[in-house]
A and B are shown apart, each in its own frame.
Chain A
């Protein structure tokens, strides 16, 4: 992309993140207005988003973004001022523009080229913006010099920079004469005359300088906050006139600045002298002193003045001071103050800190270990029977748990961040489908782990699209059955028994039991004689390659997806269930754990070692049956349960086989009994990633550290079950007793 030093690269990263947030805000505001009508506050929010992106993009030299957002801003400005309406067409255009900027930034991040597709979209949108603007394009102010400006004088009173024509003979040596009279309000404006002189030295040399104190009143009359100073400066520089004048840009409004090439025509000096407040004779002497004029030139000049100065109407300095006195802004505070207090509380929420995700993970990781260590500590303290020690250990344990909760909360984001992209998705999908569908969102304040939010965005998106495509019926059909023509998709989020539940519901036709069953039969997923519960039939739509859509549509129904949805959800140790009432709609309910870094583990013993089974997959624990039926199976409530001896899987030589247990685990529709040497109970465990060396070991997902410092592998139940079925399909006797 571009070569940047690390600091700038970091800033650019901030810019990308910030722009995405802004584009998202812009989109939300536009969608809201499309629905509820335009309001000034939101138009302003959209404008501000475009404005901020443009301003920051300029800093990074992203001219394309500046150019594009500039046009966008023009349209927004006209909408804001009421010249143009915020029509649905304009909203669609603005949304596309937002997408386009986002696309550009994405390409920049991924270093993807600006291909033909991008360029044609660029041209199309620019043309549309042009058409929407109607008027001729406004000029983009990105000249190099000219964007540092000062407030122009509204009441064209005292001179701003007066450029005196230098006549023909400009001295080739780059010597200048600068005549400066700082405005009376210079201090009050926050300017320091000295700083301009210092800055002047950065572009050249001050060869001579005389400070004019003529305007300084007697001490009793002097106002310490007013500036009475003037300077006559001889200046030598390679800089051109504009650059030198530019130095005084910020004071040119209130002050008088004259710039003359040294030794220019006497006429020019004369004009200048006439325009300055001091006595002519005195000024002339100063010019000589500075070295800009020779005394001979001065004599000629004064002689000339005798002839030309008919009126002699020099404005006395005092009058100028009165003229230039700034009108004090009337204080209109009162009413604003209350409003401001409310804003202050909002602002507090915006005080966010960006933290590196890996640092956070490390912290959460350590805190997890702290929890374990503290539990062990408390245990030992209990054995001492020393009450004071137990008490303090309990205190520490309680604090540690609070720290854990606090640390975990750092990783949490509001579900609203996850939900915020859905209004757009629903809008666009509804348009593509030609259906009228509204979106409802509830429980946006529910918090969930950020990495989890990222992982379930796609599945959620798919579920929503699916519900819109297959769930919600066409309007005519809805009216026939007495439903409102407008369909409704709802997203709900809430906390539920130590986890999070996210629901995607629709008020459509509901799942068609018979259709699913027929399809599953066709695909060979079930057999004709199988008796299946509703839940089991609904679960079939998550089978790979299953799709009941009569025709393949753009939105969904490509037959990939629902099985991927399930996989994605399960990869974050979540599960999905379906509730459906024919004719009334369906609910896809996703259960998720609160966090990915701590799990409830079920500890089992294999020979001498401890292993962890994630509690959520454990159904029940049984004693190992003394009497064996079929090898590799046991009977559980009249159903055969396949058995998997974990000691055998991990090549353990178990010594004491008298107290073996069976842990029944489930993954999806499959159940299996795992034979273990002993059961140690459940405990919260912190998930530690495995090193590269162990990543490929089948059957182990990760590891945890126990209170005594031992490492305990966490079993990968889905893989173990799949492998068992795969292997037992080949040879029914391997592994199993």
Chain B
């Protein structure tokens, strides 16, 4: 059974490219366009093994999203990779406090994302 990765980002093209890379490596990929959508997708999915979330998103940003999901026991141990830019130093701290322990800095190459994901879970 392939592992499922949830990709939360307001950029459809980013989700698409990350999706291509991850699916190519054998992961299942679910997409969400913001934090609110992300929570909805989590609720609608049996098991999500890893979450990739952007920080800066409309409606509900990545920090709030991670905070909210980390309060639910079922996602306590779900690894979260946050996407951010180097211009958002203070967001990194917030993300860390919220429960995200890994981050990838934008812009990144699809292969770099794949490497980051496979460190945490293998397909």
Contacts and interface: CB of A to CB of B under 8 A. Distances in A.
Interface string A55-79: 1111111000010000001100100
Interface in B66-123: 67, 70-71, 76-80, 83, 85-87, 92-93, 95-99, 101-110, 112, 115-116, 118-122
Nearest to B51: A190
A347 B36 contact: yes
Interface string A180-194: 000000011111100
B120 A59 contact: no
Interface SS of A by simple majority: helix
B119 A199 contact: yes
Contacts of B101: 150-151, 189-191, 250-251, 253-254
B2 interface: no
Contacts of B58: 45, 48, 350
B119 A55 contact: no
Contacts of B59: 343-344, 346-347, 350
Interface residues of B, number: 59
B66 to A, nearest CB: 10
A10 B54 CA distance: 22
A329 B98 contact: yes
B103 A150 contact: yes
A379 interface: no
Contacts of A45: 58
Nearest to A69: B107
Contacts of A331: 71
A310 interface: no
Contacts of A192: 79, 120-121
Contacts of A247: 119
Contacts of A329: 67, 70, 97-99
Nearest to A153: B96
Contacts of B105: 141, 147-149
A655 interface: no
A11 B116 contact: no
Nearest to B19: A11
A59 B109 contact: yes
A117 interface: no
Of residues B57, B95, B105, which shows the largest number of chain A Cβ atoms within 10 Å of its Cβ?
B105
A121 B79 CA distance: 44
Interface residues of A, number: 64
A189 B33 CA distance: 24
Contact of A198 (B71, B85, B122): B122
A313 interface: no
A414 interface: no
A202 interface: yes
A658 B87 CA distance: 84
Nearest to B64: A336
A225 B76 CA distance: 10
Contacts of B34: 347, 350
A168 B112 CA distance: 33
Interface in A15-54: 15, 18, 44-45, 47-48, 51-52, 54
A58 B105 CA distance: 11
B11 interface: yes
B28 interface: no
B71 A59 contact: no
A351 B33 CA distance: 8
B17 A59 contact: yes
Given A51-B85, A150-B102, A59 B122 contact: no
Contacts of A340: 36, 60
Contacts of A48: 10, 56-58
Nearest to B106: A55
A151 B56 contact: no
A73 B85 contact: yes
Nearest to B20: A7
Given A329-B99, A347-B36, A54 B107 contact: yes
A475 interface: no
Contacts of A51: 56, 85, 106
B77 A8 contact: no
Given A329-B98, A350-B59, A249 B11 contact: no
Interface in A327-376: 329, 331, 333, 336, 340, 343-344, 346-347, 350-351, 354
B64 to A, nearest CB: 7
Nearest to B81: A250
10 contacts: A18-B12, A52-B10, A54-B107, A56-B107, A151-B103, A187-B77, A190-B77, A191-B101, A329-B67, A354-B12
Please name the 7 residue pairs, one residue from A and one from B, whose CB atoms are nearest each other, closest first.
A58-B107, A190-B79, A15-B13, A55-B106, A11-B16, A147-B105, A189-B101
Given A190-B101, A225-B76, A329-B97, 15 more contacts: A10-B16, A47-B56, A52-B11, A55-B106, A58-B107, A60-B13, A191-B101, A191-B120, A250-B119, A329-B70, A333-B71, A347-B33, A350-B34, A351-B33, A351-B37
